[in-house]
Amino acid sequence: MSLAVPTSACCVKTDSLPVLQRATILQIAGETYYTLDEPTMRETVTQLQTLKSSLTVLETYRDDQAAMQTELQHKNEVIRQTTTDYNRLKGQIAQKQIEWQQLDSERNKKLQRLERSRLWLFLAGVGTALIAVIAAK
C-alpha cells in the first residue's frame, strides 16, 4: 500500500518533514506527488499523531492561559474598585475628623463662657450677700 500526497495539499517544505525525503516523487499532469511505502506511512501517522497530541496540549495551555488572563483582569478590576472605595472612605473619615474638631472647638468655647458666667454669678451672689450683711449692720 502506498500513499500519494499532492504538493498542493502539502504546506511544508520537503526538508522540514524527513519522511518526504524517502518518498518517491511522481510528476502527473503538472502536479508533483510523493508516494510513501507502508512502513514510512506508519511512521508518518505516528509522527502526525504525536504532533496532534502536542497541538492539543498547546491548545489546552492556550485556553488555560486565556482563562487565567480573564480571571486576572477580573481580580485587577476588583482591586481597583476596592482601592477607589478605600480612598473615598478615607476622605470621608478625614472630613468627619475635621467636623469633630470644629465641634470640639465650639463646645470648648461654650464651656469657657459657661464657666465665666458661673464665676460672675458667684461673684454677684457674694457681692449681694456682702451688701446685705453691710446693710443689716
Domain boundary assignment for the chain: 1-36, 37-136
Enter the pTM of the model.
0.48
Cα dihedral 33, 37, 40, 45 sign:
positive
Question: Cβ neighbours of residue 21 under 8 Å, at least 6 residues apart?
Answer: 14, 15
Give the pLDDT score at 21: 64
pLDDT in tens, 2-44: 445 544 444 444 445 566 666 677 777 787 777 777 887 788 7
List pLDDT tens digits, range 67-93: 999 999 999 999 999 999 999 999 999
For 49-86, give one letter per residue: b (16+ CB within 10 A) or e: eeeeeeeeeeeeeeeeeeeeeeeeeeeeeeeeeeeeee
Per-residue pLDDT, 39: 80
Query: Is the Cβ–Cβ distance between 40 and 19 less than 8 Å?
Result: yes
Cβ(8)–Cβ(31) below 8 Å: yes
State pLDDT tens for residues 99-128: 999 999 999 999 999 999 999 999 898 989
Residue 117 and residue 123: Cα distance in Å, rounded? Answer: 10
